[in-house]
Amino acid sequence: MDAQTFLKGLDNIPDLPSLPNIVIKVNQMLQDQETSIKELGKIIETDQAMVSKILRLVNSAFYGFRSKIRNIPHAIIILGFNNVRNAVVSVSIIKTFSGKKHFEGFEIAEFWRHSVAVAVLSRYLSEQTRLDSPDDCFVAGLLHDIGKVVLSQHFTAFFGLVWKSVKEDGSSFYEAEKKLLPVNHAQIGAHLAKKWRFPVSLIDSITYHHKIRNTVSNLSQLVIVHTANSIANKYEVGSDTIPDSSTIDPEAKRIMFRQLETIPEWFPDIATEIESACEFFLKQE
């Protein structure tokens, strides 16, 4: 089977998760310059579970505001349109992908912990370097491996092959895919993101997160997600050396030089932030 056929097959899966309605509406509204805070607030308020999640998020230590934010319009004023949109996207996507059955042995909770770690690290790296919007980077980090979930839910046999190779010969998921499948999780995730009409920069960051391509529309975002992923995979708390950087692309190493050099200094604080983000995003209601 070649990549084309595989991705076509992906399009024909009837129960492939569709983007939740609220995300589609919020995305549409934000493309319209005229959208008011009141209108956006109204759409979000149609989903009460979402309202309480967003309010919990903006009032959590994660954002660190002193005064209590009581309603969605207030949250939009404080955080801005984009950040509220990104919070809606993050909460919806985790919910959409968490319910279904997965390949046995694939720990979905572990998967989301990794994704949230990469999201928080991406946000941190973008704040430090000021190369891209921290909240856009957060979403890109959260979604970078989403293709793995699709594989584990809908291509169990393929997933099984890769999983076996990861467990038995200790190869990385990405290396095993290269050997065994017509496509990898990055291409699958990007295909889904395209279908969902996500921004090109996000699609590119998903597609090339293992192998940087210099010609993408937003190289900064890609470099941030790529570096965050390598750090999340390799760095261990308490270690005073920088991670084995063999998995980090030379261009990313050049751009992220300062951040990579000082990991032992800043990582403990970020590890705490990752914990509180997991607590918020992954805790079942």
The two three-digit tokens of residue 88, written as one number: 């809606």
Owner of token pair 């572990």: 110
Residue 21 has a CB neighbour count (10 Å cut-off) of 12
1 Cβ neighbours under 8 A, 6+ residues apart: 182
Min dist. Cβ of residue 217 to Fe ion (A): 20
User: Encoding tokens for residue 240?
Assistant: 């005073």
Nearer to Fe ion, 92 or 229 (CB): 229
Select from 33, 140, 17 the least CA-distant residue to 86.
140
Rounded to a whole number of angstroms, the minimum distance from the CB of residue 148 to Fe ion is 7
Q: Specify the residue, 80 or 105, whose C-beta has the smaller distance to Fe ion.
A: 105
Question: Quick count: other Cβ atoms within 10 Å of Cβ 87?
Answer: 24
Q: Report phi then psi at 128, rounded to 5.
A: -70, -40
Q: Is 177 in the site for Fe ion (CB under 5 A)?
A: no
Binding string, residues 196-235; x marks residues near Fe ion by CB under 5 A: ---------------------------------x------
145 versus 249: smaller Cβ distance to Fe ion: 145
d(CA 152, CA 116): 19
Q: How far is the CB of 48 from Fe ion (least distance, A)?
A: 33
Stretch that binds Fe ion, among 79-87, 119-127, 141-149, 195-203 (CB under 5 A): 141-149
- Whose Cβ is closer to Fe ion: residue 83's or residue 158's? 158
Q: Specify the stretch interacting with Fe ion by CB under 5 A; choose among 73-81, 100-108, 140-148, 153-161.
A: 140-148
In this structure, which long-range contacts are made by residues 67-75, counting pairs with CB atoms below 8 Å and at least 24 apart in sequence? 71/41, 72/40, 72/41, 72/44, 72/45, 73/37, 73/38, 73/41
CB of 275 to Fe ion, least distance (A): 18
Residue 145 in the binding site for Fe ion (CB under 5 A): yes
> If we measure between CA atoms, which residue out of 211, 130, 200 comes closest to residue 174?
211
C-beta of 234 vs 253, nearer to Fe ion = 234
The piece of 5-13, 20-28, 142-150, 277-285 that touches Fe ion (CB under 5 A) is 142-150
Residue 223 beta carbon to Fe ion: minimum distance, rounded to whole angstroms:
15
Span from 3-11, 32-40, 104-112, 138-146 in contact with Fe ion (CB under 5 A) = 138-146
Q: Which is nearer to Fe ion, 24 or 278 (CB)?
A: 278
Instruction: Round to whole Å and give the CA distance between 6 and 257.
Output: 38
Residues found near Fe ion in the complex (CB under 5 A): 145, 229
